C-alpha cells in the first residue's frame, strides 16, 4: 500500500495517515486493547467491498449483486466456527459495544436482572454502567474484586447470584489482569438459572493459544472484538449455540444494525485464517510470557501492580505509592513514546477521568517481535519515568531507549503514505 492516489487527491489526509503510522512505528504501543493488524488485513479493509450494501445474511439479502460478498461473509463465518469450535457465528457486529447490546436485546427483556463486573474494578461500560444503555435498560447488579486480593471472589458472585436470581451473568473485562474461570461461572449460572455471557475481547488470543480458559462449551454466548489480541480489523463477532442463533442474528440485523460492513468482514476472514496458524498460537503464547516478564521487571523496580501481577496480557500500575496520578504517569510515558492509558484501579480514590492507575500490556509489542529481554528493558524504563516524571535527563534517556527498540523491531515497512 503506497497511498499514491490518496497523496494526489488529498495530501492533507495522506500526511495525517503518514504521521500516525510513524507514531506507531517510532513508539511503543502498550495500550492493551491496541495491536498492529497485518498489511493483508489492512488491504482487505481498504477494498471496494466497502461500496456494497448487503442487508440480510448470505443467501438472504435485500439487494442484488451479492454473489461475491455472500462468499466473503460465508467464508468469515465458516472460518470463525472452525477457529473457535462454535456452532453458530454472527460476523456482522461493527464493534464490541453494539454486539453486547445486540446480545442483551436477543436474550433479555428491559428491566431484567443481570450481573456484570464493576467498571472501576475492571469491567466494561457495556457491562451495566449507569451511563451506558446497558445500565439504563436492564437492572444490573455489579460484582467486584476483593479488597485484599484485588481478584474476583467467586463465593461473592455465587452469593449475589443466589440472592438476585439474574437472567444473565456477564463475564470478561477490560482492565482485569487475572483469568476468568468460565467453568466455575457456568456452575453459578446453572445454580441461579442464568445465562452466561463471556466477553473475551481482551484476552481472546490467549484463549486460542491455551493460555486462558476457553469460554466454550461453558458460555451460552461469547462476544469478542477482533482488533485486540486477535489482531484483526476494528470490529466484533458473536458466537453462540443453535438455541440462541436465530435470536442473535435478528438482534444484530435488523435489531441494532443496518447494512453490514463487508470490507471489514473480509478483513475478519483474513484475520481468522491468520489466527488458525501455528505462528499465531506462538504469538499469543508469547504475549503472556512477555506480560510476565514486564510485570516481573516492574515489581523488581518497586512498582506496585494491582493483584500483584498478571495472568494475561495486561497489568495495572497503582500510582498511589509513586505519589502521582494516572494522568501524570501516562502523559510522561507518552512524551517518551510509550503509549499506555490512565485507568481506575479497584477502590480508586480518584475518578474515572482522574484515576490513580495506569493500564498497559504486551499484545502490540509482541507483534513487533519483542521478547522477554526487551520487556525487562521496557519495565526498567517505565519505572524510571514514573519515579521521576518531571526529570528531563530521565525522559531523554527513555526517549533514546524507545527509539533504539523501535528501530530494532521495524513496523509496517510496506506502508508509505
Ligand atoms: N474495550 C476498551 C478498552 O479496553 O480499551 C475500550 O472500550
List, as one string, the DSSP characters of 240-291: E-HHHHHHHHHIIIIII-SS--HHHHHHHHHHHHHHTSHHHHHHHHHHHHHH
- At which of 255, 275, 295 does a domain end? 275
- Closest protein CA for atom 1 of ligand 1: 174
Q: Are both 248 and 327 inside the same structural domain? A: no
Q: What is the pLDDT of residue 347?
A: 96
Q: What is the pLDDT of residue 308?
A: 98
Region 206-214 average pLDDT: 98
Region 291-300 average pLDDT: 98
Q: Is the CB of 341 under 6 A from ligand 1?
A: no
Region 312-330 average pLDDT: 98
Q: Is 66 exposed, middle or buried (0-12, 13-18, 19+ CB in 10 A)?
A: buried
Q: Are both 290 and 146 inside the same structural domain? A: no
Would you state the cell numbers that stand for residue 242, as one nine-digit string?
A: 443453535
Return the CATH number at 255. Answer: 3.40.640.10
Q: Are both 265 and 282 inside the same structural domain? A: no
Region 218-227 average pLDDT: 98
Q: Are both 234 and 367 inside the same structural domain? A: no
**Cα 33 to middle of ligand 1, angstroms:** 6
- Whether 381 shows a pLDDT value over 70: the answer reads yes
Q: What is the pLDDT of residue 2?
A: 85
Q: What is the pLDDT of residue 323?
A: 97
- Whether 354 shows a pLDDT value over 90: the answer reads yes
- Closest protein CA for atom 7 of ligand 1: 124
Confidence band, pLDDT 50/70/90 cuts, at residue 417: low
Q: Is 92 inside any structural domain?
A: yes
User: Could you confirm whether 55 is annotated as catalytic?
Assistant: yes
Region 237-249 average pLDDT: 98
Q: Is 367 inside any structural domain?
A: yes
User: Could you confirm whether 234 is annotated as catalytic?
Assistant: yes
- Cβ–Cβ under 8 Å, residues 236 and 95: yes
Would you state the cell numbers that stand for residue 291, as one nine-digit string?
A: 506480560
**Cα 171 to middle of ligand 1, angstroms:** 15
- Total domains present in the chain: 2
Q: Is the CB of 33 under 6 A from ligand 1?
A: yes
Residues 6+ apart with CB under 8 A from 224: 96, 199, 200, 201, 204, 230, 236, 237, 239
Nearest-angstrom CA–CA distance, 68 and 49: 9
Share of the chain above pLDDT 70, in %: 100
* Catalytic residue from among 81, 146, 158, 234: 234
Region 347-370 average pLDDT: 96
Nearest-angstrom CA–CA distance, 62 and 55: 6
- At which of 219, 247, 275 does a domain end? 275
Residue 356's domain comprises 278-408
Q: Is the CB of 100 under 6 A from ligand 1?
A: no
Q: Are both 264 and 284 inside the same structural domain? A: no
Q: Are both 269 and 347 inside the same structural domain? A: no
Nearest-angstrom CA–CA distance, 268 and 207: 17
Q: Are both 262 and 287 inside the same structural domain? A: no
Q: Are both 118 and 160 inside the same structural domain? A: yes
- At which of 230, 256, 275 does a domain end? 275
- Whether 378 shows a pLDDT value over 80: the answer reads yes
Identify which of 97, 116, 124, 341 to mutate to test ligand 1's pocket (most ligand atoms within 8 A of the CB). Answer: 124
- Annotated ligand binding at 195? The verdict is no
Atom of ligand 1 nearest to the CA of 201: 1
**Cα 59 to middle of ligand 1, angstroms:** 34
> Ramachandran region of residue 145, left (φ > 0), alpha (ψ -120 to 50) or beta?
beta
Q: Are both 103 and 182 inside the same structural domain? A: yes
pLDDT tens digits, one per residue of 10-23: 999 999 999 999 99
**Cα 35 to middle of ligand 1, angstroms:** 12
Q: Are both 169 and 200 inside the same structural domain? A: yes
- Annotated ligand binding at 335? The verdict is no
Q: Phi and psi for 58 in degrees, rounded to 5? A: -50, 130
Q: Is 38 inside any structural domain?
A: no
Q: Is 190 inside any structural domain?
A: yes
Q: What is the pLDDT of residue 388?
A: 98
Q: What's the predicted TM-score (pTM) here? A: 0.97
Region 357-372 average pLDDT: 98
Q: Are both 157 and 241 inside the same structural domain? A: yes
Q: Is 183 inside any structural domain?
A: yes
Q: Cell 446453572, residue?
A: 190
Q: Cell 469478542, residue?
A: 224
SS3 assignment, position 84:
helix
Q: Is 5 inside any structural domain?
A: no
User: Could you confirm whether 228 is annotated as catalytic?
Assistant: yes
- Peptide linkage before 217 cis (omega within 30 of 0): yes
Return the CATH number at 377. Answer: 3.90.1150.10
Q: Is 11 inside any structural domain?
A: no
Amino acid at each position: 500500500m503506497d497511498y499514491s492516489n490518496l497523496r494526489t487527491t488529498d495530501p492533507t489526509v495522506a500526511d495525517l495517515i503518514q504521521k500516525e503510522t510513524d507514531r506507531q512505528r517510532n513508539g511503543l504501543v502498550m495500550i492493551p486493547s491496541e495491536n498492529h493488524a497485518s498489511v493483508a488485513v489492512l488491504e482487505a479493509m481498504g477494498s471496494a467491498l466497502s461500496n456494497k450494501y448487503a442487508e440480510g445474511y448470505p443467501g438472504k439479502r435485500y439487494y442484488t449483486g451479492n454473489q461475491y460478498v455472500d462468499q466473503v461473509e460465508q467464508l468469515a463465518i465458516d472460518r470463525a466456527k472452525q477457529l473457535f469450535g462454535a456452532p453458530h457465528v454472527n460476523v456482522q457486529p461493527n464493534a464490541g459495544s453494539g454486539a453486547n447490546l445486540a446480545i442483551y436485546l436477543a436474550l433479555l427483556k428491559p428491566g431484567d436482572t443481570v450481573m456484570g463486573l464493576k467498571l472501576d474494578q475492571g469491567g466494561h461500560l457495556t457491562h451495566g454502567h449507569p451511563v451506558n444503555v446497558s445500565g439504563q435498560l436492564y437492572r444490573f447488579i455489579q460484582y467486584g474484586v476483593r479488597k485484599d486480593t484485588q481478584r474476583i471472589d467467586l463465593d461473592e458472585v455465587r452469593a449475589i447470584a443466589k440472592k438476585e436470581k439474574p437472567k444473565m451473568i456477564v463475564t470478561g473485562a477490560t482492565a482485569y489482569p487475572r483469568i476468568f474461570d468460565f467453568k466455575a461461572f457456568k456452575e453459578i449460572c446453572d445454580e441461579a438459572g442464568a445465562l452466561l455471557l463471556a466477553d473475551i475481547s481482551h484476552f481472546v488470543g490467549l484463549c486460542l493459544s491455551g493460555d486462558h480458559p476457553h469460554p466454550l462449551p461453558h458460555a451460552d454466548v461469547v462476544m469478542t472484538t477482533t482488533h485486540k489480541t486477535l489482531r484483526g480489523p476494528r470490529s466484533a463477532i458473536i458466537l453462540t449455540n443453535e438455541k440462541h442463533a436465530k435470536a442473535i442474528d435478528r438482534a444484530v440485523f435488523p435489531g441494532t444494525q443496518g447494512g453490514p460492513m463487508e470490507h471489514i468482514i473480509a478483513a475478519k476472514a483474513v484475520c481468522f485464517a491468520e489466527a488458525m496458524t501455528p505462528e499465531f498460537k506462538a504469538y499469543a503464547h508469547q504475549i503472556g510470557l512477555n506480560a510476565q516478564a514486564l510485570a516481573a521487571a516492574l515489581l523488581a523496580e518497586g512498582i506496585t501492580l494491582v493483584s500483584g501481577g498478571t495472568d494475561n496480557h495486561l497489568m495495572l500500575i497503582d500510582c498511589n505509592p509513586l505519589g502521582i496520578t494516572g494522568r501524570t504517569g501516562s502523559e510522561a510515558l507518552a512524551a517518551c513514546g510509550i503509549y499506555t492509558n490512565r485507568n481506575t484501579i479497584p477502590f480508586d480514590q480518584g475518578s474515572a477521568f482522574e484515576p490513580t492507575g495506569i493500564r498497559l500490556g504486551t499484545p502490540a509489542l509482541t507483534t513487533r517481535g519483542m521478547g522477554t529481554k526487551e520487556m525487562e528493558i521496557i519495565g526498567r524504563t517505565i519505572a524510571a519515568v514514573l519515579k521521576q516524571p518531571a526529570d528531563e535527563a530521565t525522559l531523554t534517556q527513555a526517549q533514546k531507549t524507545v527509539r533504539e527498540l523501535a528501530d530494532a523491531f521495524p513496523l509496517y515497512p510496506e506502508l508509505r503514505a
